[in-house]
């Protein structure tokens, strides 16, 4: 009887480790609180109690509104290479917003195309791309 209890416990532990990342999203995998890697869409088995799955982040459709004292902008971006974004995936909207505020302060009266180029220069190294930018 004890043997069946151990088998049931092992099956429950294996079943508890399955996690799903929705299609069109990516999620971060952390082991003991440290970032390990991004997980692509699909089913993944994690070590229960050791590994954690971050919140799913869509690869496309991100919008950020940014305001400074001198200017305002709305931008839309997508994640092209989640591996390059790394641990920043969990707070990617806030990180891009901070980059956009810095760019707006540096180029308050620049044309939209120049602002978009500057933003892509800043976020491109993290595998992101600004696809649309407008002033408000």
Same structural domain, 118 and 86: yes
How many domains would you assign to the chain? 2
> Helix, strand, coil % (nearest 5) of the chain?
40, 35, 25
| 36 and 71, same domain (yes or no) | no
Look up the CATH number of the domain holding residue 128: 3.30.479.30
- Provide the domain limits for residue 107: 62-135
Residue 18, classed as helix, strand or coil, is strand
CB 78 within 8 A of CB 62: yes
* Residue 67: predicted pLDDT: 85
Do residue 71 and residue 102 come from a single domain?
yes
Do 15 and 67 lie in a common domain? Answer: no
The pTM (predicted TM-score) of the whole model is 0.81
CB within 8 Å of 26: residues ≥ 6 apart? 38, 39, 40, 41, 56, 57, 59, 79, 82, 89
Which residue, 58, 87, 104, sits at the end of a domain? 58
Q: Are residues 17 and 38 both part of a single domain? A: yes
In this predicted model, what pLDDT tens digit does every residue of 65-120 receive, in sequence order? 988 877 788 899 999 999 999 888 989 999 999 999 898 888 878 788 888 999 99
Residue with tokens 């500057």: 118
Q: Work out the pLDDT band at 136, boundaries 50, 70, 90.
A: low
* Domain shared by 66 and 131, yes or no: yes
């Amino acid at each position: 009887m004890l043997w069946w209890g151990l088998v049931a416990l092992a099956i429950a532990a294996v079943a508890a480790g399955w996690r799903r990342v929705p299609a069109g999203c990516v999620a971060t995998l952390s082991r003991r609180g440290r970032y390990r890697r991004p997980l692509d869409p699909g089913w993944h088995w994690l070590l229960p109690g050791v590994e954690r799955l971050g919140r799913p982040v869509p690869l496309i459709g991100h919008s950020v509104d940014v305001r400074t004292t001198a200017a305002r902008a709305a931008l839309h971006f997508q994640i092209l290479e989640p591996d390059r974004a790394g641990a920043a995936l969990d707070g990617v909207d806030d990180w891009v917003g901070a980059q956009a505020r810095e760019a707006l302060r540096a180029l308050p009266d620049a044309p939209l195309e120049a602002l978009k180029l500057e933003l892509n220069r800043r976020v491109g190294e993290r595998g992101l791309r600004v696809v649309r930018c407008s002033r408000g």
